[in-house]
Structure 1
Amino acid sequence: ADELLSHLSKTHDTTNGVHSGVLFDQANKKILVFREDVGRHNVFDKLYGWALKNHVEISDKIIIFSGRCSSEMMLKLGRMGISTVAAKSVPTTLSLNIARKLGITLCARMAPGSFCIYANPERITL
């Protein structure tokens, strides 16, 4: 996640002041769209807006995100219908509990060669 997002986000490299995310198609192993914004929530909104505008089903896609998934963001992912999110930073306890209840697979602490699965690990295959 770190390498992927830093490669795509030249604004973050320059300013260290934006969040970024991608909507990833796991079946075809490709990035569908990349978005960035100063607001964490706005990144999710931009990814979702792109999917709606382009009539892309996202329930089987993954959001890879540069920041922390708060409880509000997990609720937003639930409304969007996203089943899996991979975030760079550690989730809050409340967001972890919400992910479990909503059935969202939550991975975080993304680093080269490692990550932690915090909720609903059944979607992850190695």
Structure 2
Amino acid sequence: MPISDADAPYLIAPDPQRAGLTRRVRGVDHTGETGEVTVIEERPLTIYLNGAEIVTAMTIGDYPEYLALGFLRNQGMLRAGEAIRGVEYDDDLQVVVVRTDATTTFEEKLKKKTRTSGCAVGTVFGDMMEGLEGLTLPSAEVRTSWLYALADRINRTPSLYLESGAIHGTVLCQGARPLVYMEDVGRHNAVDKIAGWMLSENTAAADKILYTTGRLTSEMVIKTALMGIPVLASRSGFTAWGVEIAQQVGLTLIGRMRGRRFTCLSGAERLIRDADLSAVADEPRGAGRKGATR
């Protein structure tokens, strides 16, 4: 499949009607009228590495195996080339156990941590910073036509966000084609699911783009860099430290993607401006996500 085929099917995409991810709740609006709204489910998922309990993440509950693998990979607990002997999920206990041949030595270092649905809580930040030492990402050109095609396709994709709001999305893309679309209550969970899928499928990272609906913070930049993905894009804005780290490792960082507008604060020399801007629909300032109902 050519990477320019923006209409090719997703390999994985959200299913807003999937049972167990949302529920209907009755409430009252500002006029006093009673009605029902769709809200996202949130549940704990405990991740074990071999015999050690590593973390409890608050998640919507889909793709638990990918979330576990991606979290462990992004925290440096699964080393490059380390064989995964098994990933076991117990739906009743809400537990995932990842098994390798290595002896787990994280018990004293981590003890027990809980990641809440707050987007930046629970990441073992110092360990991630250590993984950046000496890291330089491959140089990858980015066509602006890809960015516009991706934004249009992603914004039109049926999703839990469009169904209920209160959720983040992350999409792994190749050229103008979105490949895998994950959602969760925390943007870090959504990124970890992508990382877990890439690890499971042994997917190359050097020609990929990571799109997120969340802010381009230092942690989001670090995770993308550790995954080996050279381009990170978002509808949202930046933090100064996120920009600084992106420049340090050679990550192309593109934010505020709305309509025909975007801002690139790292790697602008790698942009190829091949898009016909007159053919790109603009988005009014202050508008919500295109196609969103809430």
TM over 0.5, shorter chain: yes
Greater C-alpha radius of gyration: 2
Is 1:18 the counterpart of 2:167? The answer is: yes
Output the CA distance in 2 between the equivalents of 1:54 and 1:63: 16
> Of 225, 229, 238, which residue of structure 2 is paired with 1:91?
238
User: Between Structure 1 and Structure 2, which shows a larger proportion of helix residues?
Assistant: 1
Q: CA deviation at 1:52?
A: 1.3
Aligned to 1:116: 263
Q: Please tell me the root mean square deviation across aligned C-alpha atoms, in Å.
A: 1.5
Output the CA distance in 1 between the equivalents of 2:158 and 2:251: 26
Deviation string, structure 1 residues 51-102 (Cα, Å, up to 9, x no partner):
1111110122001111112111111111111100111111101101111101
- Amino acid aligned to 2:173: F
Task: Show structure 1 runs of 5+ residues with no match.
Answer: none
Is 1:39 the counterpart of 2:186? The answer is: yes
Q: CA deviation at 1:3?
A: 4.1
Q: CA deviation at 1:106?
A: 0.2
Aligned to 2:196: 49
User: TM-score, normalised to structure 1's length?
Assistant: 0.90
Output the CA distance in 2 between the equivalents of 1:115 and 1:59: 22
Deviation string, structure 1 residues 89-124 (Cα, Å, up to 9, x no partner):
111011011111011000000011121111111221
Output the CA distance in 2 between the equivalents of 1:36 and 1:64: 12
| Partner SS, residue 272 of structure 2 | coil
Instruction: Judge conservation of contact 1:5–1:21 (CA < 8 Å) in 2.
Output: no
Deviation string, structure 1 residues 13-58 (Cα, Å, up to 9, x no partner):
12211111211111xx322111111111111111111111111101
User: TM-score, normalised to structure 2's length?
Assistant: 0.40
Structure 1's consecutive aligned runs of 4 or more residues displaced over 6 angstroms after TM superposition are none
